[in-house]
């Protein structure tokens, strides 16, 4: 078992010596973070012992919490009760069973960005989140994905969006232009964005799902097929959360730039199919056509359910060979998404600015460090971040951010995008 603190967003791990217990996942995470939670002789109370170290038990010491060699008096001081705060909440209090009312808690609320999570004891009611723990069988592999949903009232033939990458550790994907949410349905589903791969290289990606019978089998006549691509790009397929076709384009984009990475995806009907094309530009540079993918069996439908997101695809939080501070759940990923526009046709004069975005997140997930803040730039943007290096923020999930003056925005330049 592993004990995960709600406030500090860290696992309780043990050191090799019976000193006060501290912990953030270290290089030997797999060996040092496991605990045995054993019911004591008195029903309803438990001993917390390092896995494989039955002669040690977690108890209250002179300076807080410590690992003690077991003895009758130590076991008496090392009995705990687990108490749910809310029946639907997986987090619990760990309370001293000796009747003192003291609880196991994170010592410092600011330790969300620290190297070590110090653990101490305090009385109930001092800081509820610091005294709340989740019992996990596995460590967290990745940071929580955070999503932006752009409400629309009709199908769209064009989706334009901009992104300013800010914090981009290896293994980060920024989706700027997602569409569709159900690969099993007839309408097209896909996404475009930029990626910093685990090896540090940077690319642009455009992908479209097959129509799926289930998570593995495409519907007959519902395949996504690459029909055109840049000479510098290459095509591939993907599997996992469904399957489909993907085009990858090497793009030397930069983080921290004052110039955005701009994306536009356009959809056109060809008989009973939909052809989707993706374009990318760095700042005011010319548009690059990443490629086009034909999705069969759509009935010629255009795009719906527009979205963007930040994803940690490195997922190396359980990798002991990687230093704790380098593991992906504990790195900050952040970007500004700005100036979204749509068109129900490809007539430039009919393009409309999107003036609302709603924040959602992939879940459930133990990590809660997410942020979504409206910016004050003229082009209406949302600064989005995830990762436990981020200071604890008010939970943004469900938050609606509205541009009160969309008419102030300048129409983006789409010169060089065919058909516009």
Reported as a single tens digit per residue, the pLDDT across 139-160 is 788 999 999 999 999 999 999 9
24 pLDDT more than 80: no
Radius of gyration of the chain (CA): 25
pLDDT per residue as tens digits for the range 239-251: 878 899 999 999 9
d(CA 185, CA 314): 29
Mean pLDDT of 235-239: 93
CA dist., res. 403 & res. 122, Å (int): 45
Write down the pLDDT at residue 124: 63
Give yes or no for residue 182 having a pLDDT over 70.
yes
Question: What are the backbone dihedrals phi and psi of residue 189, each rounded to the nearest 5 degrees, phi first?
Answer: -130, 135
- Whether residue 301 is predicted with pLDDT greater than 90 in this model: the reply is yes
Render 145-199 in DSSP notation, one character per residue. PEEEEE--SS-BSEEEEEEEEEE--SSEEEEEEEB-S-TTSSS--EEEEEEE-TT
- 299 or 49: which carries more pLDDT confidence? 299
Among 73-77, 156-160, 390-394, the least confident range: 73-77
pLDDT at 178: 98
Percentage of the chain modeled with pLDDT above 90 = 50
Residue 121's pLDDT is 79
Instruction: Please report, for the chain, how many H helices and E strands are present, in that order.
Output: 2, 29
Residue 74 is predicted with a pLDDT of: 53
| Least confident segment among 55-64, 195-204, 268-277 | 55-64
pLDDT top residue among 56 and 333: 333
pLDDT surpasses 90 at 72: no
Residue 204's pLDDT band (boundaries 50, 70, 90)? very high
Would you state the pLDDT for residue 265?
98
- How many Cβ atoms from other residues are within 10 Å of residue 54's Cβ? 12
- Both tokens of 58, joined, read 């977690």
Q: How far apart, in whole angstroms, are the C-alpha atoms of residue 245 and residue 219? A: 14
The model's pLDDT over 334-385, given as tens digits with 9 standing for 90+, comes to: 999 999 999 999 888 889 999 999 999 977 888 888 999 988 666 789 999 9
Residues of the chain with CATH 2.60.120: 146-408
What's the N-to-C CA distance of the chain in angstroms? 58
Mean pLDDT of 157-167: 97
In the CATH scheme, what is the code of domain 146-408? 2.60.120
Segment 317-342 mean pLDDT? 87
> 328, 335, 334, 338: which is closest to 386 by C-alpha?
334
Token pair of 102, please? 């003291």
**Residue 192 pLDDT grade (very low, low, confident, very high; cuts 50, 70, 90):** very high
pLDDT of residue 233: 98
Categorize the per-residue pLDDT at 275 as very low, low, confident or very high, splitting at 50, 70 and 90: very high
> Which of the two residues, 404 and 399, has the higher pLDDT score?
399
Side-chain-side CA neighbours of residue 262 (13 Å): 23
pLDDT for residue 44: 81
Range(s) for CATH 2.80.10.50 in the chain?
2-136
> Which is more confidently placed, 320 or 302?
302
Q: What is the pLDDT of residues 93-142, one digit of tens each?
A: 999 887 777 888 887 655 544 456 777 777 766 568 888 999 888 778 89
Reported as a pLDDT band with limits 50, 70 and 90, residue 53 is low
pLDDT at residue 241, rounded to an integer:
82
Mean per-residue pLDDT over the chain, rounded: 86
CATH code for the structural domain at 2-136: 2.80.10.50
Instruction: Give this prediction's pTM.
Output: 0.86
pLDDT at 54: 64
pLDDT band at 19 (very low <50, low <70, confident <90, very high): low
């Amino acid at each position: 078992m592993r004990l995960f603190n709600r406030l500090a967003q860290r696992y309780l791990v043990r050191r090799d010596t019976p000193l006060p217990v501290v912990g953030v996942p270290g290089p030997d995470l797999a060996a040092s973070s496991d605990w045995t939670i054993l019911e004591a002789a008195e029903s309803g109370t438990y001993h917390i012992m390092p896995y494989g170290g039955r002669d040690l038990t977690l108890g209250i010491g002179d300076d807080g919490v410590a690992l003690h060699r077991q003895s009758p008096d130590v076991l008496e001081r090392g009995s705990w009760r687990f108490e749910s705060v809310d029946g639907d909440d997986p987090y619990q209090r760990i309370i001293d069973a000796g009747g003192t009312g003291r609880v196991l808690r994170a010592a410092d609320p600011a330790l969300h960005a620290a190297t070590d999570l110090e653990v101490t004891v305090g009385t109930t009611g001092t800081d509820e989140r610091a005294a709340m723990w989740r019992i996990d069988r596995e460590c967290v592999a990745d940071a929580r994905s955070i999503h932006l949903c752009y409400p629309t009232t009709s199908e769209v033939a064009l989706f334009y969006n901009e992104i300013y990458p800010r914090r981009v550790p290896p293994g980060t994907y920024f989706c700027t232009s997602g569409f569709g949410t159900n690969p099993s349905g007839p309408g097209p589903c896909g996404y475009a964005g930029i990626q910093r791969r685990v090896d540090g290289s940077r690319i642009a990606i455009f992908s479209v799902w097959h129509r799926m019978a289930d998570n593995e089998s495409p519907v007959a006549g519902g395949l996504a097929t690459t029909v055109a691509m840049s000479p510098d790009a290459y095509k591939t397929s993907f599997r996992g959360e469904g399957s489909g076709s993907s085009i990858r384009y090497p793009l030397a984009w930069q983080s921290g730039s004052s110039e955005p990475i701009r994306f536009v995806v356009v959809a056109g009907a060809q008989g009973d199919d939909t052809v989707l094309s993706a374009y990318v530009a760095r700042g005011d540079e010319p548009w690059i056509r990443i490629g086009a993918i034909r999705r069969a069996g759509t009935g010629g439908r255009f795009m719906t359910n527009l979205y963007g997101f930040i994803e940690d695809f490195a997922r190396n939080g359980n990798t002991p060979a990687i230093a704790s501070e380098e593991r992906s759940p504990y790195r900050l990923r952040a970007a500004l998404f700005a100036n979204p526009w749509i068109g129900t046709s490809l007539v430039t004069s009919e393009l409309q600015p999107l003036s609302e975005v709603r924040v959602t997140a992939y879940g459930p997930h133990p990590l809660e460090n997410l942020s979504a803040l409206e910016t004050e730039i003229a082009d209406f943007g949302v600064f989005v971040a995830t990762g436990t290096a981020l200071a604890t923020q008010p939970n943004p999930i469900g938050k609606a951010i509205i541009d009160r003056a969309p008419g102030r925005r300048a129409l983006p330049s789409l010169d060089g995008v065919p058909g516009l």
